[in-house]
Every structure is written in structure tokens, then in C-alpha cells.
Structure 1
């Protein structure tokens, strides 16, 4: 007698649906965040609106509100994702190096990675360094900056062995200040001019750090 084939239960047939809905939701969120990044870069955070973000994403404001209650929530989600990626990146870019590593080589490696990240995500600079960023993002950025400073100090300790900790901290602050000023110029240009500014930034850091490293190695 042939075996009876059990009919799929309602639960088993329905199981893939939440996953499909979840995948569609993630794609829609990614679409909205990409649109928000474009709007924030163009107009700044304060002038941006949910209507402008929805229009850039090609959806209705009602669709946007299904995922985000307001502009601040969009900015926070975008900032969180970018800061997570930034933390992963600078863990590699600012790893300790052999003390014999030339300063120019260490700077080349670190600067190239940071510039690539910021050129890939120009909204990171717009959100993190704008005068009107939401409080939650400002707090997260302060924490990110403190951790970044520690990683720069670790790299500098490798390049400047024997330097007193207070001097290392001061030098790290200077390096980050130089980098931030150079980054603003780099993001304001494109093509060959951008590359020229990248090289100028590297040259500035090299000329600042090489005499310090030479003094420590002599």
C-alpha cells in the first residue's frame, strides 16, 4: 500500500515568508540609508528632510516612515553602521609596526586606508564633523575619536621608541589634527587634484614625524 504523503502544514509553508519580508526590509533600509547619505552630503544634516530622502530613494514618505520615525533616526542608523566599519578598518590601518619600519611607509599604509574609507563614504565626514549632528552621534563620535587616538598613540610608540607618553599623546593629537584638515581639502576635490592633496597630506605628516623618529633612533 503506498505511503501517504503528508500535506505541508501551515507553519512549514509560511516559514520562508518572514525571511523574505526581512530580506526585503533590509534592502529597503539599505536603499533609504544610501539616499540619506546623498542628501546629507548635498544639503547638510540640518537642511535635509525626510521628504528629500524619500524622494532621493524613489519611495513615498509613508514608506520611509515604516522604517524610520524621523531624520535623526536615519542619521543615527547610518552613523552606527559607518562607525562600525571605521573601527574595523583602523584596527588594521593602525596596528603596531616594527620599529625599523620607515616613517613614510607607515604613513602611506595608514593614510591610504583612511582616505579610501572616507572617499567611499563622504557622508562620514559630513555627519561626524558637522556643527549640527544629533547628540547620540556626537557621543559615539567622541568615543570613536578617543579610541582612534589610542590606536595612533600605539602606532607612534612603535615609530618613536622611548618617547615619553605625554609627548606621544601630544604628537598623536597633532597627527589627527593635520589629517582632519587635509581630509576636508581632499574631499572637496576630485581626480588628479584629489590625489595631489593626498600626497600633500602624506608629505606633511612625514616631514613632521621623520625628525622625531630620527632623534629617537640616533
Structure 2
């Protein structure tokens, strides 16, 4: 009789294909959820609306996520990971000789790019009734961001007392967050103008702390 036995690799290939299809479906659902959350807000969004945006049935959605909160948590986890990569690059200590304007512009540009590429991040982090786990992650991210801003400021202002650096870091993050909401509600040249205003406010706030040493380029 001819040997009809399938090679061992064939059996392994089938689960891999199923896993790849599942990962693509999850990515599709998360992308749809991001769109719905941005349009409707987290509170008003529904699993039916997310399934409709993804072009699948609610039953298909429930194969991967039990409810809207689980979708938001998965989306938030992914965005948190990407944000941590962004602030790691944006808030690395710099050469003390770096002009203030250059250091501020580099940091702001990276954060603005992330938030304009992922507008749902702002929706999830600042919306009402967001899942408790996301709120906790956001609080932890806020603390970490303040710490990284302190590190950046310490490299620019090495003689500044630590309590002043910490307070300044909190104010800088508050200024950025307030400006971000304005940036995200505008597009094109008007958005760029608001980005520049955020940079200008930060620069004018920080300049007196460093005196002439932090002069513009």
C-alpha cells in the first residue's frame, strides 16, 4: 500500500495558520475599536458598534473578547507599551550644551507624533468611566513620565535643586497635556501652529531657570 501518512510538519502548520488568522482578527477588532472609541468615546461605544466597524458579527467578536472593557484593556496595554518606547527615546538625558529650544522641540515632536498617530490613546487615558486597570496604568505612566522629565531637566539644569526639578517636571507635563488637547482638535497648518505654541510656552517657562546657559540656538 502507498504511504499516505502526512509529514509531521503538516500537523504543526495547521495550528500556526489558525493562530495567524486569530492574530489578524484581533488586530482588526482593535483597529475598529480605536475608531469607535475616538468617534463615540469609551462610555458610548458598544461591542455591536465595534463589530460593525470591523465588518464582523458580534458572535465573532465574542470569540476573542468577552466585552468592551476587555477590548479597551488590550488596546490600552498595546498603546502603553508603544508610549513607553516613545518616552524612552524622547526623554533620554541630553548633552548639557544642547540649546533648550532644540531639546524641547525634539521631546515634544516625538510625543505629538505618537498621539496624532494613535489618537485613541488620549481618548482612553483621559475619558470618563475608563476601566480601572487602564486608570491604574495611566497613573503609573504619569509617574514614570515625570521621572523621565526630571532626568532630562537635570541634564539641562545640573545645578538646580531636586525639589525644583521635580516641581518643574510636573508643570511641564501639565503644560504639554493641556496643549495636546488643542493640538488633537486641529489639523494641517493650524495643528502645526498649536504644536509650536506648546513648544514656545515650555521654552519660556524653562528659560528663567537656566539663565543665559539655556539660551536659544
Query: Which TM class, normalised by the smaller chain length?
Result: over 0.9
Residue number among 167, 175, 178 corresponding to 2:172 in the alignment: 175
Counterpart position of 2:30: 33
Shift of 1:10: 6.4
What TM-score, normalized to structure 1? 0.94
In the alignment, is residue 107 of structure 1 matched against residue 104 of structure 2? Answer: yes
Counterpart position of 1:67: 64
Residue number among 7, 17, 20 corresponding to 1:23 in the alignment: 20
Counterpart position of 1:119: 116
In the alignment, is residue 54 of structure 1 matched against residue 51 of structure 2? Answer: yes
Structure 2: gaps spanning 5 or more residues: none
Shift of 1:181: 0.3
Cα distance per residue 1:158-205 (max 9 Å; x no partner): 111111111101000000000000000000011111000000000100
Q: For residues 110 and 84 of structure 1, what CA distance do their matches in structure 2 show?
A: 18
Does the 8 Å contact 1:163/1:216 carry over to 2?
no
Counterpart position of 1:42: 39
Shift of 1:9: 3.7
Residue number among 158, 181, 186 corresponding to 1:184 in the alignment: 181
Shift of 1:12: 3.1
Q: For residues 105 and 216 of structure 1, what CA distance do their matches in structure 2 show?
A: 13
Structure 1: gaps spanning 5 or more residues: none
Does the 8 Å contact 1:99/1:159 carry over to 2?
yes
Does the 8 Å contact 1:103/1:213 carry over to 2?
no
Does the 8 Å contact 1:161/1:216 carry over to 2?
no
What TM-score, normalized to structure 2? 0.95
Cα distance, 1:43–1:137 mapped onto 2, change above 3 Å = same
Q: For residues 66 and 10 of structure 1, what CA distance do their matches in structure 2 show?
A: 31
Cα distance, 1:148–1:6 mapped onto 2, change above 3 Å = farther
Cα distance, 1:176–1:14 mapped onto 2, change above 3 Å = same
* 1:15 partner SS: helix
Shift of 1:130: 1.0
Q: For residues 3 and 210 of structure 2, what CA distance do their matches in structure 1 show?
A: 76
How many pairs align?
A: 215
Residue number among 130, 133, 141 corresponding to 2:130 in the alignment: 133
Shift of 1:11: 4.1
Does the 8 Å contact 1:46/1:132 carry over to 2?
yes
Does the 8 Å contact 1:156/1:168 carry over to 2?
yes
Counterpart position of 1:144: 141
Q: For residues 123 and 22 of structure 1, what CA distance do their matches in structure 2 show?
A: 26
More displaced 10-residue stretch of structure 1: 151-160 or 7-16 = 7-16
